[in-house]
Amino acid sequence: MSLIVVNIIIVLIFSFNRQLLIIFGRMGVFCNKMAAEKSKFEGWLAYLRDANVVRRTQEKCGVRVLSEVKTGEEEESRNIQVKPSTTSLVNGAIAKLSVTRPVRRKKARRKQPGIMIETISPGEIASPPPIDYPDIIVETYPLVDAYFKLATELGYEPFYIIFLGTLHWNIDTTVFRHAVLLWALSMYIGQALKNVFKWPRPSAPPAVRLEMKLKLEYEYGFPSTHATVSTTIPLYLLYIIHSRYESLFFTMIFISILWCTSVSFSRIYLGLHSYLDMIGGVIVSLIMLLILLPLIDHMDHFIFNFKFFPVVAPLIILLLLYMYPVEVAWTSDRGDTAAILGTLLGALLAIHFNGPFPDDLQPGPFPVALPTYQSLGFGLLRFIVGVLLVFPTRFIMKLLCFRFLPAIMPSHGVVEVDKRPLVVLPYKIITYMSMALSAIYIGPRMFEICDISRY
């Protein structure tokens, strides 16, 4: 009997070990497949981040680097630009476009790849490194160059100031209210993720920088905030206009695709972002829309009806600014983020104090009709009055902030006032908050006084 039991135990152990061997074998095959997939994935990531891919894309769009200016008919048919060449600094350090012909310059001083960080005092803003670049001659197709340079402007703040102001003053306050919230959150999340991932812009060379902005020396590339915002806003407009207006759905599909692709691809054409930066920006935008769109009506209710909102809103904005990932050295994107959050704070406070406008209370869908000459004239007047409110406000608040803040805030040994974060950050928030309040709260009241109100 005991022998039978022993044999059974041996058989069970053998069967169990065999099953274990099968399981471990399958796990090994699975791990090998995963390793192969990981290697393939990393290869795709490396390809999408490769600056040589950016350069090849630029060349297909007609961008060429010449050693000398061409003459004759070819020069007349193409656009020849002289630009400072760039080195392989990780953030794509660039020089200002300041020459129109080849000029001899000293050899550029290069730093090894890596984020440019200076040893500075706690309150000091890092200054650009002293780099002198040799000049190069860049040849482009004029129409292609003009198109993408125009498209990339659709991702900068001046365009959104005009666009959002026009939405509020002339078109639809509901669409404006949601759009300004999504714009600010897109910019904030995109800028913050850059400092989380810390992935550099395409090195140049091999990429060719066709846009010269000094602050890009201190900004990472992934994800592209241009791609994030140019995906968020068109898709939101497609979503909201489909539910609020008649007969615009297919038109908005075309506009959304054109807007998103043109702005995103322009950053590759200009040599400022890789394909991976663009894809990352689009993914961030889609995730954000999936989360926020179901909550947008609840946000409206909270902004309009919570009586302590004027107290809570500044606390939320200050918390977002405090949570923003900070580098060792000051970077310009932190100041830009403060300006964005200041704009959002001013917009939220103005929306709360205004309360719902008449078009906020109508469910829609609304018919779409061509504007009359009278409505176009009144719209132009409202835009002019709004602009005349916003920009003097910026000038006055900047003057007051730089007059009083340096006396209140510690300097940390920094002599230049505009290089003190404890001065620059409050200035950005206060100034842009005031501009938003002027545009959104004071603007409609000025329209009523001038008898040009929409309502």
Instruction: Tell me the catalytic residues.
Output: 226, 273
Q: What is the CA radius of gyration of the chain?
A: 28
* Letter string b/e over residues 53-82, b meaning 16 or more CB atoms within 10 A of that residue's CB: bbbebbeebbbebeeeeeeeeeeeeebbeb
| Spatial contact of 90 and 115, defined as CB atoms under 8 Å apart | yes
| Spatial contact of 273 and 226, defined as CB atoms under 8 Å apart | yes
For 140, list phi and psi in degrees, rounded to 5: -135, 160
Look at strands 79-84 and 64-66 and give their pairing.
unpaired
| Spatial contact of 235 and 178, defined as CB atoms under 8 Å apart | no
CA distance 114 to 204: 14
Identity of the residue numbered 432 = Y
| Spatial contact of 363 and 177, defined as CB atoms under 8 Å apart | no
Q: Tokens standing for 355?
A: 């309360």
CA distance 329 to 421: 11
Q: Tokens standing for 148?
A: 């993408």
Running DSSP on this structure, what letter comes out for residue 366? B
For residue 82, the cross-strand partners are: 137
Q: Tokens standing for 94?
A: 């660039």
CA distance 220 to 327: 11
| Spatial contact of 339 and 432, defined as CB atoms under 8 Å apart | yes
